[in-house]
Amino acid sequence: MAGAQVGRFLKSHRVLYVPAGWVSRIVGLSPSTSFIAVLLGPLRARLRGSMSADDVLRVLRALDTRSLPYWLAGGWGIDALIGKQNRTHDDLDVIIDDYQRNAPAARQALLDLGFRQVGSQMRKTWMPDLSTFEDGAGHRVELVSVDWNRLASALDPAGSLQESSDLMRDAFTQGTINGVVVPCLSSRVQQLYHSGYPLKETLQQDMTLLQSIFGRPSVNGDGPDTEEHSKRG
């Protein structure tokens, strides 16, 4: 049964979301090279969908074709920093710069790939705008905006970042996915973003891995999204 058919079947048999969610959590907590991930990964992808490296690059190529400024966030942003896929991912988080201007073109890029918009919301966070897209095979992409003032305050409570170039240097960098160079959040922002609230096991493992490679940044106070993440658990 193809991914799109599985997705439709699950939607019409909601009770199956329980075992599908169990498989998704088990695989999501396991390294991508582990026996569990190798054994159950294909089943998980069919039950819930997952964003593979090829899926990510397909989306990024569509954004690049339209010369849209973006950075990877979330789990794939962390794996880009590391330079290899560390675990499976249910979605792809993409920060779109100058959101009000560029979001329509980004939305159209996803529509052209077969995605449809399934939700949007505003949050009290340094990534306030959130638009969610899904395709028939269970892949999910989230486009988010940047509140530059809030991010600058979180990164630099003392106000020493005088130039926008200083903020850009601290907040963003480049990583690689399957050897392809991609823009992404810096390790400092990823760790700040995930500070000040209880982390799920998967995120704890992500932060431990980042700290082992890049060290623990010197930051004061809670992360910029503490309130939002506390609500989401």
Are 172 and 200 in contact, with CB atoms under 8 Å apart? Answer: no
* Residue spans per domain, the chain: 1-49, 50-232
What is the C-alpha to C-alpha distance for residues 83 and 182, in angstroms, rounded to an integer? 10
| DSSP one-letter string for 193-232 | HT-SSPPPHHHHHHHHHHHHHH------S--TTHHHHHHH
Cross-strand partners of 63: none
Domain 50-232 belongs to what architecture?
Answer: 2-Layer Sandwich (3.30)
pLDDT score for 201: 83
Q: What is the mean pLDDT of each run of 10 residues along the chain (233 residues)?
A: 44 44 48 53 54 96 97 95 91 95 98 94 89 87 92 78 72 96 95 82 89 78 43 36
pLDDT score for 199: 85
pLDDT score for 163: 57
